[in-house]
Amino acid sequence: MGYELKMRVWRGDQSGGDLGDYTVEVSEGEVVLDALHRLQATQAGDLAVRWNCKAGKCGSCSAEINGRPRLLCMTRLSDFEPTETITVTPMRSFPVIRDLVTDVSYNYEKARELPGVELGPRDPDGKRRMMQVDVERGQEFRKCIECFLCQNTCHVVRDHEDNKPAFAGPRFFLRYAELDMHPLDTRDRRSAARETAGLGMCNITKCCTEVCPEGIRITDNAIIPMKERIVDRKYDPLVWLGAKIGLRNKDDDGRTEA
């Protein structure tokens, strides 16, 4: 049933800000975003918050709730005691624009640096054939809703702004892994992942996996396999020799370096 929720919401902009105290009426079944919307409609018309689908599908409403990176629309008030004060702050790794809205342009800049898929020609009947089991590996990564919570949480950039230029971040390692595992892609993405995207800087602490609202096993299924494949190529003397004398790892059949 309905009750008065105590909230602390960060209000401010790039020049600074503070937690504001609010009390807002909430009811059964509501999520944190509902409480913020009610604040907006009744007490703080100019409270800035990003949102779209309100169903965990678009990844717009990322923020930190009691210090934990989460989607505002998928965090239910029933996860907290009615007497508990809920504190909402913007994602910490990105510059604040206003209130809960941050400048996530880093992610879009990185996205522009990514390679695209390059498939060979279609089959003679104009169709392509791939088996379900082979597309499923990539499909897991394509569930990504680009909420950028993994980017926000990753230690490599969270406390080290200076790493950003050389580091694409977990969301985009997913993309490299997806291309690498695409059954019909013709390119070898390993050097690009290492050199352009900075995959080597990841030290596999799995923080990204923990905050992923889609439950994508970013570290285990994307990052570690990519790292293994890069290491394979870089250090394995047999692979090096094989490459020299024209033998190839079967996994890389038909792929040329991107």
Partner 1 sequence: MTESTHDRHPMTGNEMSPSAAGGIERHQYDVVVIGAGGAGLRAAIAAQEAGARTAIVCKSLLGKAHTVMAEGGIAAAMGNRWPEDNWEVHFRDTMRGGKMLNNWRMAQLHAQEAPERVMELEDWGALFDRTEDGLISQRDFGGHKYARLAHVGDRTGLEMIRTLQQRAFQLGIDVFMECTVTELLKDADGNGRIAGAFGYWRETGRFVVFEAPSVVLATGGIGKSFKVTSNSWEYTGDGHALALRAGASLINMEFVQFHPTGMVWPPSVKGLLVTESVRGDGGVLKNAEGKRFMFDYIPEYFKAETADTVEEADRWYDDKKNNRRPPELLPRDEVARAINSEIKAGRGSPHGGIYLDIASRRTPEFIRKRLPSMYHQFKELADVDITAEPMEIGPTCHYVMGGVEVDPDTELSAVPGLYAVGECSGGMHGSNRLGGNSLSDLLVFGRRAGAAAASYSDGLGGSRPAIAEQDVKAAEQSALAPFEVEGGENPYTIQQDLQQSMNDLVGIIREGAELERSLAEIEAFKERASRMKVEGHRQYNPGWHLSIDLRNMLIVSEAIAKAALAREESRGGHTRNDFPGPDPVWGSKNLVVTLNADGTGVELTEKPLPEMPDELKKYFE
Are 22 and 102 within 8 A, CB to CB? no
Q: Candidates 1, 16, 28, 245: give the one binding partner 1 (CB under 8 A).
A: 28
Q: What is the DSSP letter of 80?
A: S
- 58 near partner 1, judged by CB under 8 A: yes
Segment near partner 1 (CB under 8 A), from 30-38, 165-173, 219-227, 234-242?
Answer: 30-38
The DSSP string of 146-210 is ---HHHHH-HHHHS-GGGGGG---HHHHHHHHHHHH-TTB-EE-HHHHHHTS-GGG-----HHHH
Look at residues 222, 93, 201, 199 and name the one whose alpha carbon lies nearest to residue 156: 201
Beta carbon of residue 14, minimum distance to partner 1 (angstroms, whole number): 6
Structure tokens at 236: 């394995």
Nearer residue to partner 1 within complex by CB, 189 or 233: 189
Q: Please report how close the Cβ of residue 7 comes to partner 1 at its closest, in angstroms.
A: 16
For residue 49, state whether it binds partner 1 (rule: CB under 8 A).
Answer: yes
What is the DSSP pairing of strand 62-65 with strand 86-89? antiparallel
Best CA proximity match to 153, nearest among 137, 165, 169 = 169
Q: Give yes or no for residue 142 binding partner 1 (CB under 8 A).
A: yes
Site for partner 1 in 73-132 (CB under 8 A): 74, 76, 95, 97-99, 101, 103-105, 108-109, 111-112, 114, 116-117, 119, 122, 126-132
Q: Is position 23 an interface residue for partner 1 (rule: CB under 8 A)? A: no
Q: Please, what is the Cα angle at 72 between 64 and 212, to 5 degrees?
A: 70
Single out the residue of 138, 169, 170, 198 in contact with partner 1 (rule: CB under 8 A). Answer: 138
Q: Quick one: which segment of 25-33, 156-164, 192-200, 233-241 binds partner 1 (CB under 8 A)?
A: 25-33
| Cα 125 to Cα 76: distance, rounded to the nearest angstrom | 50
User: Binding segment for partner 1 among 29-37, 84-92, 198-206, 222-230 (CB under 8 A)?
Assistant: 29-37
Q: Does 10 bind partner 1 (CB under 8 A)?
A: no
Give the DSSP per-residue string, 220-236.
Answer: IIIIHHHHHHHHHHHH-
Q: Residues 180 to 209: which contact partner 1 by CB under 8 A?
A: 182
For partner 1, give the closer residue by CB, 97 or 243.
97
Size of the site for partner 1 (CB under 8 A): 63
Per-residue tokens: 11: 């209000």
- Say whether residue 145 binds partner 1 (CB under 8 A): yes
Distance CA(221)–CA(239), nearest Å, equals 23
Q: How far is 155 from 188, CA to CA, in rounded Å?
A: 28
Q: Is residue 210 a contact residue for partner 1 (CB under 8 A)?
A: no
Distance from first CA to last CA of the chain, Å, rounded? Answer: 58
Residues that bind partner 1 (CB under 8 A): 13-14, 27-31, 34, 40-42, 45-60, 74, 76, 95, 97-99, 101, 103-105, 108-109, 111-112, 114, 116-117, 119, 122, 126-132, 135, 138-139, 142-146, 179, 182
